[in-house]
């Protein structure tokens, strides 16, 4: 028997063709989920990017090339790795999708019953929710993943840079423009970080510490280039998050912590970079302490900026 229906149905996107089995699945799944079927890859990918579902069902034999695009060009590049993906196969020939197994959450066969399909979907959704420490607003990895990546760098023979990113004057912006606008700004910063880091390196990592604080990791020789492009992209999108008056005068007016009307500079982005080479730090607490010192320097600079710690 399938699991109990929930009050709010999860949204599922299914990419498959005309098939009696799929019609039967959809009929019974509709009692438990909101399911939308796509037959064209372009429309399917657009929907995932602009209105991501809670889970994807993908029929591999309909378009093997499409699965590679879905994983590499959509899930990984656009930071949708948390989005559960169940691949449907004609038979249990796993070799055809073996190279994608790290990005696939489950496999269904065409002869699976609707009851099994529903149960596997529910289990997949619950498993993702249980094991994920991703930030609920941005979908980026949270503090558990950040700590694991920092520990990995302590023993790395290759020099890496850890960049701590935060928004200046964000609280004042949030108070004036509202939480919804502030959340959208945070989500766009997350997208910029992910897109830029992925553009420069396959060895990168982006995490969301919380609030307006982020971290990214990249090979040391690329960190400053990445930081500058992040700043450039942030500068480009910022006007769309400001009203015309604030944008033109270069500051906004709102109440400070004491309730007094005060002029605040427009939001900017500060990036504190800490180089990490093997043997430089004994534990990640030392990295955090060094980063705190570098943050004070970069936040004293006017506007968006990055600063690299040059101490040995």
Q: Which residues contact 22 (CB under 8 A, 6 or more apart)?
A: 14, 16, 37, 59
pLDDT of residue 15: 98
Residue 6: pLDDT band (50, 70, 90) is very low
pLDDT of residue 1: 47
Least confident stretch, 158-162, 234-238, 250-254, 270-274: 250-254
The CATH homologous superfamily to which domain 143-308 belongs is Reverse transcriptase/Diguanylate cyclase domain (3.30.70.270)
pLDDT of residue 130: 65
Distance of alpha carbon 270 from alpha carbon 168, whole angstroms = 7
pLDDT of residue 266: 95
pLDDT of residue 74: 86
The string of pLDDT tens digits covering residues 11-20 is 999 999 999 9
In this structure, what is the dihedral angle of CA atoms 31, 33, 70, 19, given to the nearest 10 degrees?
10
Q: Which residues contact 122 (CB under 8 A, 6 or more apart)?
A: 2, 3, 32
* Boundaries of every domain in the chain: 10-127, 143-308
Residue 308: pLDDT band (50, 70, 90) is very high
10-127 CATH:
3.40.50.2300
pTM of the model: 0.63
Q: Partners of 252 in the beta sheet?
A: 264
The string of pLDDT tens digits covering residues 151-199 is 999 989 999 999 999 999 999 999 999 999 999 999 999 999 999 999 9
| Percent of the chain whose predicted confidence (pLDDT) is above 90 | 77
When comparing pLDDT for 6 and 166, which is higher?
166
Residue range 271-276: mean pLDDT, rounded = 97
Average pLDDT in the chain: 92
The string of pLDDT tens digits covering residues 103-124 is 899 999 999 999 999 999 999 9
Residue range 224-239: mean pLDDT, rounded = 97
Q: Is 3's pLDDT higher than 80?
A: no
Q: Partners of 58 in the beta sheet?
A: 15, 87
The string of pLDDT tens digits covering residues 43-77 is 999 999 999 999 999 999 999 999 999 998 888 77
Query: How many CA atoms, within 13 angstroms, populate the side-chain half-sphere of residue 218?
Result: 23
Whether the Cβ atoms of residue 39 and residue 17 lie closer than 8 Å to each other: yes
Residue 2: pLDDT band (50, 70, 90) is low
């Amino acid at each position: 028997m399938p699991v109990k229906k929930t009050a709010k149905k999860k949204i599922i996107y299914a990419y498959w063709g005309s098939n009696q089995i799929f019609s039967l699945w959809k009929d019974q799944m509709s009692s438990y989920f909101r399911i939308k079927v796509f037959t064209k890859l372009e429309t399917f990918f657009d929907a995932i990017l602009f209105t991501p579902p809670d889970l994807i069902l993908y029929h591999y034999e309909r378009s093997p090339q499409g699965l590679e695009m879905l994983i590499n060009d959509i899930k990984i590049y656009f930071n949708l790795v948390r989005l559960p993906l169940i691949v449907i196969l004609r038979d249990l020939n796993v070799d055809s999708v073996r190279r994608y197994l790290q990005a696939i959450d489950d496999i269904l066969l065409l002869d699976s019953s609707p009851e099994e399909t529903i149960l596997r979907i529910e289990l997949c959704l619950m498993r993702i929710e249980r094991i994920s420490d991703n930030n609920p607003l941005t979908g980026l990895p949270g503090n558990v993943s950040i700590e694991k990546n920092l520990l990995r760098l302590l023993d790395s023979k290759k020099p890496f840079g850890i960049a701590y990113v935060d928004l200046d004057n964000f609280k004042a912006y949030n108070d004036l423009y509202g939480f919804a606008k502030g959340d959208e700004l945070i989500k766009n910063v997350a997208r910029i970080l992910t897109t830029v880091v992925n553009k420069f390196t396959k060895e990168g990592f982006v995490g969301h510490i919380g609030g307006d604080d982020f971290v990214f990791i990249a090979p040391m020789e690329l960190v400053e280039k990445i930081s500058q492009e992040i700043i450039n992209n942030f500068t480009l999108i910022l006007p769309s998050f400001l009203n015309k008056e604030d944008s033109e005068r270069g500051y906004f007016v709102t109440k400070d912590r004491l309730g007094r009307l005060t002029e605040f500079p427009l939001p900017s982005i500060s990036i504190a970079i800490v180089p990490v080479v093997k043997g430089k730090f004994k534990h990640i607490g030392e990295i955090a302490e060094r980063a705190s010192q570098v943050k004070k320097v970069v936040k004293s600079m006017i506007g968006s900026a990055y600063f690299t710690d040059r101490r040995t």
